[in-house]
A and B are shown apart, each in its own frame.
Chain A
Amino acid sequence: MPRLITRRGLLLTGAALGGTALVAGIAGIGYLSTVDVDGLEGHVDGESAVLNAFVVLHPDGSVVINVPRTEMGQGIHTGLAMIVAEEMDLPFDDRIRVDFPTEAHPAYSTWFNVLQVRPEEASGPVVWLGRRVLGEMGFIATGASGSTMGLWHPMRVAGAAARQMLIAAAAIRLGVPPSELTTAAGVVRHEATERVLSYGELARAAAVLPPPDDPVLKARSDWRLIGRSQPRVDLPAKVRGAPVFGMDVTLPDMLHAAIRHAPVFGASVSGVRNEARVRSAPGVVDVVLIDGRHVAVLARSWWQAEQAAWLLQIDWSATGAEAVDSAQLAARQTEALATGSPHDHIDEGDAAAALAAPGATVIEAEYGVPFVTHACMEPMNATAILHPDGRAEIWAPSQNRVTMRSGAARGMGWAGVSARETTLHITMNGGAFGRRSDHDVIAEAAYLAARHPGRAVKVIWSREEDIGRGLYRSHAAARLRAALGPDGLPVAYDALVAAQSILHSMGGRNLPVTPGPDGDVLTVEGLEKRHYTLPNRRMRSQHVPSHMPIHFWRSNGFSFNTFFTESFIDECAQAAGADPLAYRRALLRDSPRHLAVLDRVARMAGWGAPLAPGRGRGIAIEECYRSVVAQVAEVTVAPDGEVTVDRLFCAIDAGLVINPDQVVAQMEGGAIYGVTTALMSAIRVERGAVVETNFHDFPVQRLANAPAIAVEIVESGEPPCGAGEPGVVPAAAAVANALFAATGRRLRHLPLTVTETIGARRIRSMLPPDQA
């Protein structure tokens, strides 16, 4: 798949182009050739030995492994540290500490996500230029399930280089050739003379040696960590309540800010009717208008600030969206499917002709999903200070260093301040799911800090601001058509999706250049069905604008398109009188990797074994983030209508797996996220504003009725693939297909259930057929 700039990579094209012009324009290619994209040079820093950009040895024997990716629950700090420890022959114990480095070394850049070329396969001028430009601009982002794919090879090389430098230092010290030395468990050993030197003793000498030109990587047969589950490095602190999330950043004499955003997106503040009253509320220090759009209340306590913010009587400007509601927004999409002028992504063969052929069996269906939001457990927050010497410092749970930096600059800019230097601290993230790559709360904190120079300001959004005034996954609708051949399999597939462009909306807020809305690659993720043998294939997308701010959301287009397409494949199977598993097996006849995953999940689930009346199984499969993932959901629909997802089986080919237990954890958590969205999540709009406000009206899955989940990892010959998002992807279709199997009713719109009160019980049930 040699697409150079794909998917989420596009989001940075604007920034990358800006960066390219800037850097190349100022200093040219000669300068870029000096950018240290490997980070293998060492140096001594006081008592500590910096062996390279990824490893620091301290005199007390502790080892810091720099992992320049955000830990937001996915276990990335552990997985990437394991890679370095493996190559260095370090024991994986509590002497290892993982840091998210504050410094943005060019070797840390997330260029894989932009260029979509694995580092171990990288060559050519585009990659040469791209990784240098992105390295120089400090593009460090965590997303697109890309962290392991992007750093697997660089961190292996860094570990191997560090090990060779330690051996070289030992060879000099012992006066023996390096070839006579071996390493194990943090020591260099000379077998012949039974002499042993610890890494700690050698570190400072090793750090000043030149790194090897071509570090020798360990043979797979020598691995003792990779592929064997290791406990996570961040969990001992997490069970003690000790880690510092953005919410926990505490600075001397800090001000706390509560904030109010416009209920109708895009509105500005026309006035605050009772500013004096709010200013006189207990503890309030200031009431500040931010960029003409938001109102912040600053106090010595966030509780006081939030209490005072509830008093605010704000007049908002008219935007023209005051009459918009969910029904209108959905109607716009349906209309776009019928009368839009969609962007052509794929037109292979002649799907139109095959669908129009006389006597063709045409299956056609329309599907839809609502807006949803992330609802990270840690509400949005950021802390900023503008020091008296003109330096700025920001602390935030963020997925993206570039938007964090641009947000800081933008916020300071609103106050006419340009910080002399901005230091960014990325804290632990209490969930992220794509949400924390936007700069919004960071710009707010930066502005307030610029208005109160010398004093730290922490902004916290209430849950109501997060759910009702935040950022959203687009709603989407699709019309899918297939012409079935004599064997019942599709001879033509025609997919049209209507959604609001993620990149256009996200880029418009966050990037110097806004990507155009048409042909957004994120809108069609999961629509292509490349793994299915489909002789004639057409895929189109239609951007449908609205006033809603759209953002990345765990698995983006896959989160709706895979629901559409894998439901539709079941509908085709039903029309062909085929079993859904057998039908997919036939469609996957040219895709052995996918077939193996499908067969595995079917075996796990006991596909085909009879189920009691009211119960059903559904299956779905997708290729995403270079992984292949399949799920079987097993549901019960009780006589009173209550829907329960009893069990969920998941098989994944995630390529080479570093820390298997964490891939399992991501599949479990992803499946819960997906089941939540399938059954209960919806953001509705009335009079231009979001209706939902908190967890009572934006319900999420809780422990009761959460499905039991079984996960198996399929052996793979592929290099590491993505694991953070795939678990979400097939869940909605698997559940919808299972409900069909249980009841004979095909539900084509999410959420699949509504809350009903029966006596004292509140249950989730399917809508009656006439209301569905």
Chain B
Amino acid sequence: MVEFTVNGRAVALEGSADKPLLWALREDLGILGPKFGCGVAECGACRVLIDGESVPSCQVFVGDLSGARVVTVEGLAQPDGQLSAVQQAWLDEQVPQCGYCQPGFLIAVTALLSQIPNPSDAQIDEAITNICRCGTYPRIRRAIHRAAATLSAG
């Protein structure tokens, strides 16, 4: 039995210790925001926050998560539904096209801005390695700067 929290909710998983978190979230917990894209930590569509750090959930085993705080894209908004600054910036810049990869970007950017509140373009390039095949990168860059401005304005 492994116990941890997902989006603030306590979960206990039995017999899944060697299962990647991605598939435990999707198949055992019904949390479908994190997406399967490559299975080898190349694309980032499965990224989640584990204790505040952006991690590809296809590479983390449930057995290593005891006591961890996991946040998925579903956990970014406030409990009352209000979007986070990053999600709002994504809407304001009309970032997503197909949207499949965007949960991973939203997580990666949330983590980036918690560590570097006002990242330069070079810092963004360094930190955000996810893949978007629709090519929303120009808008992603704008949305990151917009979210950073919102957060620093308080």
Using a CB–CB distance below 8 Å, which chain A residues touch chain B? 71-75, 231-232, 234-236, 238-245, 247-248, 250, 256, 301-303, 306, 375-379, 428-433, 460, 462-463, 661, 665, 668-673, 676, 694-696, 700-706, 708-709
* Minimal Cβ-Cβ distance residue in A for B144: A703
B64 contacts chain A at the CB level, 8 A cutoff: no
Using a CB–CB distance below 8 Å, which chain B residues touch chain A? 19-20, 23, 27, 30, 32-40, 42-43, 45, 72-74, 76-77, 83, 87, 90-91, 94-103, 106, 124-126, 128-141
11 extra A-B contacts, CB within 8 A, seeds A232-B96, A306-B39, A428-B99: A72-B98, A238-B102, A241-B106, A247-B32, A301-B27, A378-B100, A665-B97, A668-B136, A695-B40, A703-B124, A706-B135
Docked-complex contact B99 and A430, CB < 8 angstroms: yes
Smallest Cβ distance from A532 to chain B, in angstroms?
A: 29
Most-contacted residue by chain A among B34, B73, B100, B102 (CB, 10 A): B100
Given contacts A377-B132, A463-B38, A696-B40, contact A431 B140 (CB under 8 A): no
Q: Determine which of B42, B77, B102 lies in contact with A695 in the assembled complex, contact meaning CB atoms within 8 Å.
A: B42
| Alpha-carbon separation in the docked complex, A304 to B140 (Å) | 35
A-B contact pairs, 12 of them (CB 8 A): A235-B99, A239-B95, A239-B102, A247-B35, A247-B36, A248-B32, A301-B19, A303-B27, A378-B100, A379-B37, A431-B134, A703-B137
- Please, which residues of chain A bring their CB within 8 A of the CB of B141? 703, 706
Smallest Cβ distance from A225 to chain B, in angstroms?
A: 16
Given contacts A240-B74, A430-B100, A703-B125, contact A668 B45 (CB under 8 A): no
Given contacts A250-B32, A303-B23, contact A238 B129 (CB under 8 A): no
Smallest Cβ distance from B122 to chain A, in angstroms?
A: 9
- Please, which residues of chain A bring their CB within 8 A of the CB of B98? 71-73, 376-378, 428-432
Q: Determine which of B33, B126, B136 lies in contact with A704 in the assembled complex, contact meaning CB atoms within 8 Å.
A: B126
- Please, which residues of chain B bring their CB within 8 A of the CB of A431? 98, 100, 133-134
| Alpha-carbon separation in the docked complex, A580 to B83 (Å) | 49
Smallest Cβ distance from A760 to chain B, in angstroms?
A: 13
Docked-complex contact B96 and A706, CB < 8 angstroms: no
| Alpha-carbon separation in the docked complex, A690 to B117 (Å) | 44
Docked-complex contact B128 and A703, CB < 8 angstroms: yes
Docked-complex contact A303 and B20, CB < 8 angstroms: yes
- Please, which residues of chain A bring their CB within 8 A of the CB of B91? 231, 235-236, 239
- Please, which residues of chain A bring their CB within 8 A of the CB of B101? 377, 430
| Alpha-carbon separation in the docked complex, A238 to B33 (Å) | 9
Smallest Cβ distance from B53 to chain A, in angstroms?
A: 19
Q: Interface on chain A toward B: helix, strand, loop, or mixed SS?
A: loop
| Alpha-carbon separation in the docked complex, A431 to B20 (Å) | 25
Q: Determine which of B36, B97, B103 lies in contact with A379 in the assembled complex, contact meaning CB atoms within 8 Å.
A: B36
Docked-complex contact B94 and A235, CB < 8 angstroms: yes
Given contacts A238-B96, A669-B135, contact A695 B38 (CB under 8 A): yes
Most-contacted residue by chain B among A71, A665, A671 (CB, 10 A): A665
Smallest Cβ distance from B124 to chain A, in angstroms?
A: 7
| Alpha-carbon separation in the docked complex, A668 to B95 (Å) | 11
| Alpha-carbon separation in the docked complex, A682 to B128 (Å) | 24
Q: Determine which of B72, B126, B137 lies in contact with A706 in the assembled complex, contact meaning CB atoms within 8 Å.
A: B137
| Alpha-carbon separation in the docked complex, A250 to B31 (Å) | 11
Q: Determine which of B74, B77, B131 lies in contact with A700 in the assembled complex, contact meaning CB atoms within 8 Å.
A: B131
- Please, which residues of chain A bring their CB within 8 A of the CB of B95? 235, 239
Docked-complex contact B99 and A694, CB < 8 angstroms: no
| Alpha-carbon separation in the docked complex, A702 to B44 (Å) | 11
- Please, which residues of chain B bring their CB within 8 A of the CB of A676? 135
| Alpha-carbon separation in the docked complex, A715 to B70 (Å) | 49
- Please, which residues of chain A bring their CB within 8 A of the CB of B30? 250
Docked-complex contact B133 and A376, CB < 8 angstroms: yes
| Alpha-carbon separation in the docked complex, A376 to B132 (Å) | 9
Q: Which 3 A-B pairs have the closest CB atoms?
A: A241-B33, A672-B135, A430-B100
Docked-complex contact A701 and B125, CB < 8 angstroms: no
Docked-complex contact A377 and B129, CB < 8 angstroms: no
* Minimal Cβ-Cβ distance residue in B for A234: B99
Q: Determine which of A256, A433, A695 lies in contact with B131 in the assembled complex, contact meaning CB atoms within 8 Å.
A: A695
* Minimal Cβ-Cβ distance residue in B for A432: B98
Smallest Cβ distance from A662 to chain B, in angstroms?
A: 8
| Alpha-carbon separation in the docked complex, A247 to B39 (Å) | 14
Docked-complex contact B36 and A668, CB < 8 angstroms: no
- Please, which residues of chain A bring their CB within 8 A of the CB of B99? 73, 234-235, 238, 243, 428, 430
Given contacts A239-B91, A700-B131, contact A706 B100 (CB under 8 A): no
